[in-house]
Structure 1
Amino acid sequence: MYTPPAFREDRPEVLREIMRAARLALLVSAAPDGGAPEATHLPLMLEVDEGPHGTLHGHIAKANAHWRGLRAAGVARAIFPGPEAYVSPSLYASKREHGRVVPTWNYVAVHAIGTVEVIEDAARLHALVSRLTERHEAPRRDPWAVTDAPEPFVAGQLKSIVGITLRIETLIGKRKLSQNRDEADRAGVVAGLSDSADAADQAVAAAMRAG
């Protein structure tokens, strides 16, 4: 990911917040035959452990051949998208001064790169899906648990997935939030996106106000 110095984000706590807030990540790895890279959309859970940046956990369908490519490649990149919004030149104060402005896009993203392990052991898979379920069910008033389903049914479902762990070795963070504009232009972008009816625009405005 191209990260000019003005937009680079290196604070671990900020990167982790972005990763945990992402509802769906994109896991990308090289194709075993040298063709186009393979990619799978999936939720990934971050656990901070003894590694330099933590470990990501998830699972994919066994029918999805990508898991074999992941095993062959040994490394992968997980992409976590944050808020994003189109920025019109009309929002800049400098448009009224000299007009030398063009459209752009503000966005937040984190890329996590590291070594991959594919998990097929039933006990480890059960523990993995239980942790993932607990995380995503936690906000619900009446959370569902893996143990709510019949054990033979769960065992059958586990045979149709493989677990994925990615030990993060490199984290690349980017918060492109008009840091290259002067204060008046940034204020115009915040005001314009805040007034938008689009929730994504408002999320970017909130990220800009947060600094």
Structure 2
Amino acid sequence: MYTPKTFRETNPEVLHGLMRAYPFATVVVHAASGFVANHLPFEVAGDALLHGHVARGNELAQMDGAEVLVIFQGPDGYISPNWYPSKHETGREVPTWNYAVVHVHGRLQVIDDAVWMRQFLETLTDRHEAMQPKPWHVSDAPADHVEKSLKAIVGIAITIERIEGKFKLSQNHPVRNQAGVVDGLRQRDGDGDAELAQLMAHTKEGKS
């Protein structure tokens, strides 16, 4: 990934924080037919491990030991030059796109274990059901239905060997332009704009 030093993020807490906040990731692997991409929710299981699951018919279920790239996509959005105070003084600004991504390079392990699989699904479900008024639990489903469902999937674990973070959040602009972008995103308030503005503001505070 092309990552100028200005946009490079190496703090493990920041990287893991984005992965937990945006757990639906893209898994890229080189199969016999070429590059294959799958889209899966993950759990960050410690500092160097990701857990997930796939259907038995998925290519990943047959690729134990394969090298993989997992891409976590955070908030992103178009940035108008009209939001920069400097644009109104010099006109020398152009549009861009702000975003935050984490790339995980690792090795895949297929886990064909019903006990492990159930424990993982309970963890995954409980986390995403936590904000519901009446959270659903795996145990709410009939036992025979759960057993049948478990037979149709396998677990995957990805050992993290290398991790890259790119947080392109207007760090190459003066503080007043960064503030203008945050204000512009909040006023536009489109899909993901509030999250991007919050990330920009939080990153600026953390480095001030």
| Fold-level similarity (TM above 0.5) | yes
C-alpha distance in 2, partners of 1:132/1:185?
A: 40
C-alpha distance in 1, partners of 2:199/2:145?
A: 43
Unaligned runs of 5+ in 1: none
Matched, 1:64 2:58: yes
Q: Which amino acid counterpart does residue 50 of structure 2 have in structure 1? A: L
Question: SS where residue 93 of structure 1 aligns?
Answer: coil
Contact kept in structure 2, 1:43 and 1:58, CA below 8 Å: yes
Q: Which amino acid counterpart does residue 30 of structure 2 have in structure 1? A: A
C-alpha distance in 2, partners of 1:103/1:67?
A: 42
C-alpha distance in 2, partners of 1:200/1:193?
A: 9
Which residue in the other structure is 2:132 paired with? 140
Question: SS where residue 30 of structure 1 aligns?
Answer: strand
Matched, 1:10 2:4: no
The equivalent position to 1:176 in structure 2, one of 168, 177, 187, is: 168
Contact kept in structure 1, 2:67 and 2:105, CA below 8 Å: yes
Between the aligned residues of both structures, percent identity stands at 45
C-alpha distance in 2, partners of 1:14/1:202?
A: 18
Displacement after TM superposition at 1:193 (Å): 1.0
Contact kept in structure 2, 1:108 and 1:175, CA below 8 Å: yes
C-alpha distance in 1, partners of 2:80/2:73?
A: 21
Deviations 1:69-119 (A, max 9, x none): x32x61211111111110011111222222222111000111111111011
Unaligned runs of 5+ in 2: 204-208
Residues paired across the two proteins, number: 203
Question: SS where residue 192 of structure 2 aligns?
Answer: helix
Deviations 1:29-86 (A, max 9, x none): 11224x2x111111100011xxxx3211111112223432x32x61211111111110
Displacement after TM superposition at 1:139 (Å): 2.3
Displacement after TM superposition at 1:23 (Å): 4.3
Which residue in the other structure is 1:206 paired with? 198
TM-score by length of 1: 0.90
Question: SS where residue 119 of structure 2 aligns?
Answer: helix
The equivalent position to 1:185 in structure 2, one of 177, 181, 191, is: 177
Q: Which amino acid counterpart does residue 49 of structure 2 have in structure 1? A: T
C-alpha distance in 2, partners of 1:91/1:67?
A: 47
Contact kept in structure 1, 2:6 and 2:171, CA below 8 Å: yes
Which residue in the other structure is 1:41 paired with? 39
Contact kept in structure 2, 1:195 and 1:202, CA below 8 Å: no
Which residue in the other structure is 1:82 paired with? 74
Greater alpha carbon shift after TM alignment, 162-171 vs 193-202:
193-202
